[in-house]
Amino acid sequence: MEDEGNHGNDDTRCFILSTLAAHNSPRVVCLLCSSTLPVYDRYPLVDGTFFLSPRQHSKHCFEAKYEGKTQYLSVVCMDCLEGTAPNRRIKCRFCATPWDGSSLVLGTMYSYDIFAAQACCTERYKCNNCQKSLASSFQKMPFYSDYSHDIMCSQCTVQDFHFVKSLAFCFARDIP
C-alpha cells in the first residue's frame, strides 16, 4: 500500500497551526494516554504524530475542514506510538494483536485515520450497521487513506466510515 502523507510540508504546518488557533489551543491531548503535549511552530510540530479522522475519537480532537470535508485533528504521543511504556500498549479486542505505531513519522500529520489504516483482523472490516464483512471491498483499496473514506455496504446499502471504528470498540489496554 502507499503512504501518501505530506510529511514536512508547509501547507500541513499551516493547517495544523490555524486549526489550533481557531480553537484557542496551543496544546493538544494524546488520544490514548490523555497527556498534554505542546505544539511547536516548526517541524517536528509535536512529540508524537497528528492525524485526521472522519470520526471524533475524543473531545480533545479538533474539528476542521480539510480538502472540503469535515475532519477531526487528532494526536497520539510518541510514547504511545512506540509502546515504550508497558501500560501504554493497546491490543485488538478481537484478535489480541498489539497496535503498533512505531513506523509512523513523528512530528507531522497523516491525512487519514492511522488506526483504520492498520486493520489486523476481519472484525475490523465489518459493516457498522449490519455487521456483515466488507472484505470484498477492502481488498481492492490501494491507499491507506481509502480506509478513512465513507463507503456503501453492499449488503445493507448503508453509507458510513465503516473501517473507522471507535477506539473503545476495537482496542483494550495490553496489561502484562
Strand partners, 98: 91
- Establish if 52 lies at the interface with Zn ion (CB under 5 A): no
- Establish if 156 lies at the interface with Zn ion (CB under 5 A): yes
- Establish if 95 lies at the interface with Zn ion (CB under 5 A): yes
- Establish if 151 lies at the interface with Zn ion (CB under 5 A): no
CB of 42 to Zn ion, least distance (A): 22
CB of 85 to Zn ion, least distance (A): 9
Nearest to 155 by CA among 172, 140, 134: 134
| Nearest to Zn ion of 20, 153 (CB atom) | 153
> Any idea which residue has 475532519 for its cell?
71
| Residue 67 to residue 71: CA distance in whole angstroms | 9
Backbone region of residue 96 per phi and psi (left: phi > 0; alpha: psi in -120 to 50; beta: other values): left
- Establish if 61 lies at the interface with Zn ion (CB under 5 A): no
What does DSSP say about strands 151-152 and 159-160: parallel, antiparallel, or unpaired? antiparallel
Give the residue, chosen from 80, 90, 104, 151, that forms a contact with Zn ion under the rule CB under 5 A.
Answer: 80
User: Residues in the site for Zn ion, rule: CB under 5 A?
Assistant: 30, 32-33, 77, 80, 92, 94-95, 97, 120-121, 127, 129-130, 153, 155-156
